Structure 1
Amino acid sequence: MKRIRLTPLFFRRIHKWVGLILGLQFLLWALSGSVMALLDKDKVGGHGAGMTHAHPLPAGDYVDVAALRRGEAITGIVLRDLGTRPVYEVQSAKGVRLVDATTGADIRVDAAVARDVAAMMNDAPIRDVSVLPKANLEARDHAGAMWRVDFADAENSSAYVSLDTARFLVMRGDTWRTWDFFWMLHNMDYVNRSSFNHPLIIFVAFGTLWMSGTGFYLLFKSFSRADFRWLRRRRKPVVVRSAP
């Protein structure tokens, strides 16, 4: 078996190809960072004046919480608005359910409810409503089943509404989708697009460290004493005198 010699030539060959691979990633980092910095931060964040839909609760008699359906251990009750309608958000070991605070009837979060909640976030016409059994990449910061309401606007916006609580979760548009694509290139998380300490980026980080070390090694190996000849002081010629 031929023995591998760790010579400067060996390191130079590996350094060249590793540098090419990492150099492409450096270009992607620079490109993705530049694009993300140029995008409108308000459109990327999905925020704006229309992102709030809280309404004051109407006056009147509400159902006594003690009279709500029993048979389950209730861990919490929240009185809030669902549009202009007051509701109880009842939390138990079985999950979360909504109860009309004025009648005591259970509320089913169907497509109509999802449309009403989403319509308070966007004035554009609604193009489609679909249910997701779990969060997709656009709503990855939220858990559980949800409704997706697509709008016919310039941003192709999509609102996400919780299937359990009918709470508005997030609004996404084409600007955010563009940002998210370049964010994926930037943090190299091509699956979840959320982590920056996964094995691939750690491998690239150590590859960069190796490149730096071998670069310094090859830098010093590329010099010779002749390269520093100009630093030496010129010696004065020695005059040899013959004896009289």
Structure 2
Amino acid sequence: MNVLKLSTQLHKWIALVVGLQVLFWVGGGLVMTAIPIETVRGEHRAAELKPNPLALGRLPALGEIARRAGVAPVQAELHTTPRGPAWTLKPASGEPIIVSALTGRPFGPLSAADASAFAKRAYRGTAEVSGVALLPEAPQETGRTGPLWRVDFADREKTSFYLSPATAEVVTRRSGVWRLFDFFWRLHVMDWNDGEDFNHPLIIITTALTLSIVISGFILLWIRLARDVKVFKASRRAVRPE
């Protein structure tokens, strides 16, 4: 078997092995560039809500809030929420604690009706709520941990708003468009678990093999072109009149 034939066979077999993944890369790239990232994030479904101004003079001091909450925070953040002003207190160890900036106590339980009302207020569009559920553990697609309220809307994208059960803030938005994008993203990076790892050995090896296909393809093309040119010149000389 000559070098050209051996190189051609290797090129074909390697291409057969990685060809499907190359198809995923190209197809996924097309999907991810064709869909605006704002649509993927559901930004077109987010209403513009103006936060209520904080009346700092009417709020207890942070020290008093920390005492009532029973927390010695190393970091504290005051912010507005749909349920009123809140402090996020981060202790030296453990998870941050969210309490009302008025009382220093955790907010009361959020009902399904309240979750639906807060979600509708944050939603841009005319679709009605199609489902409300308190999830004891946040789904993987949210990238969060702990419980969340999920409010579904009957729009064409099948939008879902995920709300904090403490403050009723919309922590993230998901939709059928996002899930389609996420599916192709996982195929693209060859991480079918959570789509977070794009430096794993499998994608590095596959990329290296794909690069070898491209390089060997150029080499084979050069060899074939050189051979064709040689044959063409020989044929011209053969038909040249004496």
Measured against the shorter chain, the TM-score band is 0.7 to 0.9
Higher helix share: 2
* Residue 132 (structure 2) aligns with: 128
Alpha-carbon shift at residue 111 of structure 1 (Å):
5.0
Post-superposition Cα deviations, 1:75-109, rounded to whole Å, max 9, x if no partner, equal 22322222152222222233222322223332246
Residues 12-91 of structure 1: matches in 2 within 5 Å?
A: 12-48=8-44, 50-57=46-53, 59=55, 61-68=58-65, 69=68, 71-83=70-82, 85-91=84-90
Q: Give yes or no for contact 1:144–1:162 (8 Å, CA) kept in 2.
A: no
The answer to whether the 8 A contact 1:96-1:164 is kept is no
Alignment length, in residue pairs? 227
Residue of structure 2 in register with 1:204 after alignment: 206
C-alpha distance 56-110 of structure 1, shift in aligned 2 (>3 A) = closer
| Larger deviation, residues 190-199 vs 208-217 | 208-217
Unaligned segments of structure 2, at least 5 residues: 238-242
CA contact (8 A) 2:99 2:105 kept: yes
Segment drifting more, 105-114 vs 178-187 = 105-114
For residues 7 and 167 of structure 2, the distance between their equivalents in structure 1, rounded to whole angstroms, comes to 60
Code of the residue aligned with 1:90 in structure 2: it is: L
Percent identical? 29
3-state SS of 1:169 partner: strand
Please provide the CA RMSD for this pair: 3.4
Q: Secondary structure at the match of 2:90?
A: strand
Contact 1:145-1:163 at 8 Å conserved across structures: no
Q: 1:96–1:165: 8 Å Cα contact kept in structure 2?
A: no
Distance 1:110 1:31, change over 3 A: same
Instruction: Assess, with a 3 A threshold, how the Cα gap between structure 1 residues 111 and 10 changes in structure 2: closer, same or farther.
Output: farther
SS of equivalent to 1:75: strand
Deviations 1:182-204 (A, max 9, x none): 22222222222233322222111
Instruction: Measure how far apart 1:171 and its partner are.
Output: 0.7
Kindly name which structure, 1 or 2, has the bigger radius of gyration based on alpha carbons: 1
Aligned residue number for residue 118 of structure 1:
119
- The one of 168, 189, 192 equivalent to 1:190 is 192
Q: How far apart, CA to CA, are the structure 1 residues paired with 2:166 and 2:96?
A: 6
TM, length-normalised to structure 2: 0.74
Which range is displaced more, 100-109 or 213-222? 213-222
1:71 to partner: Cα distance: 4.5
- Which residues of 2 match residues 129-168 of structure 1 at below 5 A? 129-137=133-141, 139-140=142-143, 143-147=144-148, 148-162=150-164, 166-168=168-170
**TM-score scaled to structure 1, two decimals?**
0.73
